[in-house]
């Protein structure tokens, strides 16, 4: 049990696991418990790997999950061609492009002000734990924040 103690991060993870369990948010509970185990094992190399590649791996897994129906044959190429014939699906394509653009603004903000990430994380945790939200969007959240900050600066409410 090298390096194990009831320090503040460990207590936070225990609290998050409990919030996830009480809020029936399995993703939050599992993530917190996994981090507790990694801390218990004192595996700093694994933390470094997760910090460096975790978001990219998560995005890749999400993309694989979204594309799986096409790969399995549940969705055909012919079905995808409907994207350009039905207004709702065409709007979905446009919203997807807009969302990607907004998220790109978030990347810039997160690089310029890394502390913003922790504020977004806390907000995401609160949304997941208390509002049955889904923790999918630090990039989109940062993008929305960047647009809001730009607007507040434009109207003179923020310097």
List the chain pLDDT tens, one digit each, 159 residues: 455 567 888 898 998 888 878 777 788 889 999 999 999 888 889 998 988 888 788 878 988 998 999 899 998 888 888 777 888 888 888 998 998 888 888 878 887 887 887 788 778 778 877 887 776 667 788 888 999 999 999 999 988
Q: Is residue 124 domain-resident? A: yes
Q: What is the pLDDT of residue 3?
A: 52
Helices (H) and strands (E) in the chain — how many of each?
7, 0
Does 71 map to a domain?
no
Task: Compute the distance between CA of residue 119 and CA of residue 101 in angstroms, rounded to an integer.
Answer: 21
CA angle at residue 72 from 67 to 77, to 5 degrees? Answer: 70
What distance in Å separates the CA atoms of residue 145 and residue 119, rounded to the nearest whole number? Answer: 11
In a domain, 58, yes or no: no
Residue 14, domain member (yes or no): no
Q: Is residue 138 part of a domain?
A: yes
In a domain, 97, yes or no: yes
- 40 touches 78 (CB < 8 A): no
* 123: containing domain: 76-159
32 lies in some domain: no
In a domain, 112, yes or no: yes
Secondary structure (3-state) at 124: helix
Question: What integer pLDDT is reported at residue 2 of this predicted model?
Answer: 52
């Amino acid at each position: 049990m090298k390096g194990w103690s009831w320090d503040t991060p460990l207590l936070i993870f225990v609290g998050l696991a409990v919030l996830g369990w009480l809020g029936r948010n399995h993703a939050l509970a599992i993530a917190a418990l996994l981090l507790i185990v990694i801390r218990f094992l004192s595996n700093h190399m694994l933390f470094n790997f997760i910090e460096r590649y975790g978001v990219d791996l998560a995005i890749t897994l999400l993309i694989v999950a979204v594309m799986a129906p096409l790969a399995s044959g549940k969705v055909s190429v012919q079905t995808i061609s409907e994207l350009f014939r039905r207004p709702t699906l065409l709007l979905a394509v446009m919203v997807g492009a807009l969302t990607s653009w907004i998220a790109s603004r978030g990347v810039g903000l997160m690089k310029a002000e890394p502390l913003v990430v922790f504020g977004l994380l806390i907000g995401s945790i609160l949304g997941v734990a208390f509002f049955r939200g889904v923790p999918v969007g630090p990039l989109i959240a940062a993008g929305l924040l960047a647009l809001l900050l730009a607007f507040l600066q434009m109207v003179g409410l923020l310097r």
